[in-house]
Structures are given as C-alpha cells and as structure tokens.
Chain A
Amino acid sequence: MTRTANDGRLRMTILGGYLGSGKTTWLRHQLFKGAFGHTHILVNEAAETPVDDTLLSAQATGITMLAGGCACCTGKADLIAALRSIIDTRSREHSDNRKIDQIVLETSGLADPAAILSAIREDSVLVHHIRVAEIIVLVDASNAADQLATEHLSRLQIEAADRIIVTKADAVSPPQLATVVATAKQLNPAANIEAAVKGQPFALDDLPDAKPIDLPDLIGDSAPITPTRITIGPDVDWATFSVWLSALLFARGDDLVRVKGVIDTPAGPLLLQTVRKSVQPPELLPPEVTRNENQVVFIGRSYTSQDLQRSLEYFTHA
C-alpha cells in the first residue's frame, strides 16, 4: 500500500550527529524560527543528568527527556514507551484539534540513527502511527576530520542521513570546510548537504575545490562505500525488482548503506528509499515531477555495479 504525506501518521524527524556537533543549538534555533511547527521534542542523552531540556523547553509544544541510555541500544525500550505515550495522547484528541504536528527526536551523540529508524519500524504499534520523514545529521566542521578518521559511529551517522548539516561552518577556513563537505559527500552521496552557524544557514556556494579526507579503514568496514547507479530496463517490472531488492537487502543489507531511486510502475512513478535493511514505504510521485526515472542509486561496498546489473537481469529473464 502506498503511503503518502497525509496518511494520518505523525511525522517524525530524527536529529543525529556526533557528541558536541551542535544538535541542541541547531534545534533551538529551528524551533525559534518555527521550522517544525507544533513540535513535541524528545531529547535523548546518554548521560544520567539531562541539561538540554532546559534549553529547549521554551519553544516546544511538549518535551520528553530520555536520560541515561542511548535510544539506539540500551535506551530503546524507553524511547518506544515515550513514543507510544505521545501517540496515545494524540489519538485521544479530536483530529481537528491536535496539539502537535510532529515529533523531533534529538538523539544522543552516540546514537546510530538507522538503528532508531529500524526500532520504530519494527514496533507493531508505532509503525501504524509514526512516519519517519527525515533523518538530519549534524557534522561539526572543526572536529569532523578527527572523528571520521577514528570513530566508526560518526561514519554510520553520516551514512544514514537524508540531510547533512555542517555546523560551526565559520570556525574553520573555507578550504577546511570544503574538505569536510567533500568527505561527507563521499560517505553519503545521496544526502543534501547544507551548512549552518549557530542554527543560521551558511552559504556553501563559493567553496574552493577540495578532495575528501582519505579515511583509514576501521573495524567493520573493509572497503570504502561507493555509489553506483544502475538503470532499470523497461522489461523489469515492480514485482521483479521488489523481490530482487528484498533478497539483496537481506543478504547484503549491512553493506548496502543506501538505495534510492524512482521506479516506473503501472500505478505511477514510485520513490524508493532504504537505509541498510529497512525500506521506507515507497511514495507514489505525481507523474509530472519525476526525472531520472528507472535509475536507482546503490551506495555501499563489497559488490560491483556489473554484478547488480547481471543479477537483476538473471531474475528478469529467467
């Protein structure tokens, strides 16, 4: 079943980023500007003593603190319980008179946003009520080089993002900023990259050319991830493609960080997106807005685009 923007589920934005990347500062400014509308904020801190809630409570419609455990692992049960209580309250309200338009989860700096996304999708109650609309990941311009070189987690965060915001953009020189942007782009070519200073947008237009940082291998990722694009031929129908992709994600989901593309179906063009093993409900796009139809981008490692193409052909023509 196709789920569109107005399917009655509550929008949720996951805000991630490494420790000290400026999540609270950025969120505070967005709330002040009213960027998220009437928002219930969930703040997760890995430490036992919460601080961020006092900074955020002024602008939010509601706020819940989840302290003492990161929501992607030890604090997962708390997160699920908090989200269930929010949707429980919401479903008791009259549909014309609901207090909140969306939920924003500020994750702890140690969280893997993809794990949180999967936790919500796997919960049999939440999946009916919450639609994760966007994963925003902040990257600290001044510390990104060190973090990315040593912390596998900081790479996972960038890989999971729909939108990357390079924060503290004024704290480094333009060539350094360009290097950070290029590195983020290499890690996640599908995401939109923006920059901000204390939550205010910062233009990235006139950056010098820069090469991405040469990131060393860390445990768990043997090869760098690369984007490959395959063209879905007119003879590949949605049933074939979906079975093939489902098998591929099950076998190679840990290596396939992201799949993104628009596929033609009898019902219209479908926008398909995955983050590791989890597939977002595909959205039907209005026929007139689509470009690059039947092109699917695979971002990952340990396979070649030739293998993808041949394997898909095998299942199409068998």
Chain B
Amino acid sequence: MCNACGFPTRPGHWTDAGADNAGDRLRLQMSRAKILNRILAGYGFTARPPGHGPGFALASFTGRTTLLPDLEAVWAEAEKQLGHPLDPLDARFTSAPAPRA
C-alpha cells in the first residue's frame, strides 16, 4: 500500500492477477490505460496512470480530472458524470467496425 495515498485499500486488484512484481504491474497498468481509453473515447473521457501508484486519472472533456483507485471506481465516476453507465455492449461497440489504430 502507498503510504502517501493509502491505495490500494485491498490486497491486489483482480486485474493485477499474474503480475508479481512492480515492473509487471506497471506494464499492465499502461496496457490497461490504452484499452480503457478505447471505451472512454466514445464518451468524451480520457484516462492515464496517475504516475504515483495504482489506478487512473480520469479527465472529462471539460478538463475536470479525478484520481481513482481502480477500474470499478472509473466506471462509477463516469456514470456519475454522464448520468448513465458506460456499456461495452452498446451498439457503437457491437455494430461499428473497429476504428483504425
């Protein structure tokens, strides 16, 4: 646990499974942020690793940035700001062809 911020509050988030050292966790966090932005982009958000520990900094298109401890918190915060949850089964993800990288 980080002494400065108290995160994570529980033993290892499940998405960190298989990453046994700090380097692997950092690498996973980076890859997760990339994927996370694919779903967030459709809703006007961006996310990046906060740089000092686990979790993400979620920025809305207004520039409002929130530090969040894990993915669940990201979905909850996005839902709070949008008024509805982000749904990966939304038609925009299931019917449109994948955008070019």
Residues on A lying within 8 angstroms of B by beta carbon are 1-3, 124, 127-128, 237-240, 242-244, 246-248, 250-252, 265-268, 270, 272, 279-282, 284, 303, 306-308, 310-311, 313-318
Cβ–Cβ contact B94 & A239, under 8 A: no
- The yes or no answer to B9 lying at the interface (CB within 8 A) is yes
- Specify which of A244, A268, A303 lies most central, judged by the most chain B CB atoms within 10 Å of its CB: A244
Given contacts A238-B28, A244-B88, contact A284 B94 (CB under 8 A): no
- Min distance, Cβ B25 to any Cβ of chain A, angstroms: 8
A127 to B93, CA, bound (A): 34
Nearest chain-B residue to A246 (Cβ)?
Answer: B71
CB neighbours (8 Å) of B20 from chain A are 1-2, 267
Contacts A127-B11, A252-B87, A311-B93 aside, 17 further interface pairs with beta carbons under 8 A come to A237-B31, A238-B28, A242-B71, A243-B35, A244-B88, A246-B75, A250-B76, A267-B17, A270-B18, A281-B12, A282-B14, A282-B17, A314-B93, A314-B96, A315-B38, A315-B88, A318-B98
Contact of A243 among B17, B39, B95 (CB under 8 A): B39
User: In the complex, what's the smallest C-beta–C-beta distance from A261 to chain B, in angstroms?
Assistant: 13
Q: List which B14-35 residues lie within 8 A (CB) of chain A.
A: 14-20, 24, 28, 31-32, 34-35
- B50 close to A (CB within 8 Å): no
Residues of B within 8 A of A270 (CB): 17-18
Number of B residues near A (Cβ < 8 Å) is 37
**A280-B15 Cα distance, complex, nearest whole Å:** 11
The answer on a CB contact under 8 Å between B32 and A1 is no
In angstroms, Cα B71 to Cα A239, docked, is: 12
Q: Give A282 to B88 CA distance when docked, in angstroms.
A: 22
* CB atoms of B12 and A246 under 8 A apart: no
